[in-house]
Amino acid sequence: MKLVALDIDGTVIPGRARGEDARPSARLRTAIRALDARGIAVVLASGRMFPGTASVARELGLATPLICQQGCSVHAPDGAMLHEFPIEHRKALELVAHAREIDRAYEWFNPLRYIVSRESDATREYGRVSGITPEYRADPERSGIRPTGVGIISSAEEANGIHRALVAHHGESLHILDFPTVTVAVAPEANKGHALSLICADLGIDRHETVAVGDSVNDAPMLAWAGRGYAMPHSDRYALDAANEVLPPGDPEPIAALLELLAR
């Protein structure tokens, strides 16, 4: 094994620990240092934008490439863009039209800017964890930025239906993510698995020499691509289906226990 890829929210930072002071545990930081001492690279792969992903990388002492925004972009530790996958503009406008048709707020984003048609607790929280200030305007698509994705913001009751409608209309021409309260559409190649494959190619690492850990729909491609994919005990159905194994719930820090084992 030469590389371990880790999701952040719900994995490196457990869901119960989210908040202003949420940080990786001391046990996890020690386990990551032990992996580094063995020459095993640790890569963060997050739905956060670059600033929020980079802050956790600094906390963990990592100097490896960062996978951000579900795999829409891959950055060097200093923020330099290594890979970026914009969504087709015509498709992005079709998603906006759908959001307007069903009268739902929507987000229009690239690796560094997050523009939303209406403010909400969810948009403020995403801005906080991503280390950016959300921008609000009635017509985000007129902001002048080339987007890497568009998200339709709804509710836990509506999101799955919106996901089904978008998949039925767009098929495989978009990668559509079914989150609990937002349905996010990005370019077909914009996913954590593809991003991880590019990093491994850059570093000369074979996929069978990798391990990935995550808990959500955006982690599923990464868990499926890695030589060994581990889902957190609380994972959603997409991550559970993609993983080779589910971490046991008995340990209070199952991810730290796994990394300790890998560092032996």
Q: Which residues contact 264 (CB under 8 A, 6 or more apart)?
A: none
Query: 230: helix, coil or strand?
Result: strand
Residue span of the structural domain in which 137 resides = 89-186
Same domain, 245 and 197: yes
Same domain, 181 and 195: no
Does the model's pTM come out above 0.85? Answer: yes
Return the pLDDT at 23: 86
pLDDT grade, residue 22 (50/70/90)?
confident
Considering just the CA atoms, what is the radius of gyration of the chain in Å? 18
Q: How many domains does the chain divide into?
A: 2
Determine the Cα–Cα distance for residues 58 and 225; give it in Å rounded to an integer.
26
Return the pLDDT at 48: 95
Residue 75 has pLDDT above 70, yes or no: yes
Same domain, 112 and 230: no
Same domain, 167 and 111: yes
Using the 3D structure, point to which of 136, 171, 186 is the last residue of a domain. Answer: 186
Cα–Cα distances in angstroms (integers) from residue 7 to residues 48, 66, 109, 138, in the given order:
10, 11, 20, 32
Share of the chain above pLDDT 90, in %: 94
Mean pLDDT of all residues in 86-91: 97
Structure tokens at 187: 């370019």
Return the pLDDT at 91: 97
Here the contacts of 138-142 (C-beta below 8 Å, separation 24 or greater) are 140/96, 140/106, 140/107, 140/108, 140/115, 140/116, 141/92, 141/93, 141/96, 141/108
Degrees to nearest 5, angle at CA 262 with 246 and 256: 60
pLDDT grade, residue 160 (50/70/90)?
very high
Same domain, 124 and 174: yes
**CATH label of the domain that carries residue 174:** 3.30.1240.10
In one letter, which amino acid is 181?
T
Residue 17 has pLDDT above 50, yes or no: no
Return the pLDDT at 115: 98
Same domain, 25 and 153: no
E strands within 135-216?
Answer: 135-136, 149-153, 175-178, 182-186, 210-214
Place of tokens 């200030």: 133
**Do 5 and 67 contact (CB within 8 A), yes or no?**
yes
Same domain, 121 and 163: yes
Cα–Cα distances in angstroms (integers) from residue 181 to residues 157, 162, 209, 221, 228, in the given order:
8, 10, 35, 20, 29
Using the 3D structure, point to which of 186, 206, 240 is the last residue of a domain. Answer: 186
pLDDT grade, residue 21 (50/70/90)?
low
**Do 62 and 35 contact (CB within 8 A), yes or no?**
no
Mean pLDDT of all residues in 71-95: 97
Q: How buried is residue 246: exposed, middle or buried, by Cβ count under 10 Å (0-12/13-18/19+)?
A: middle
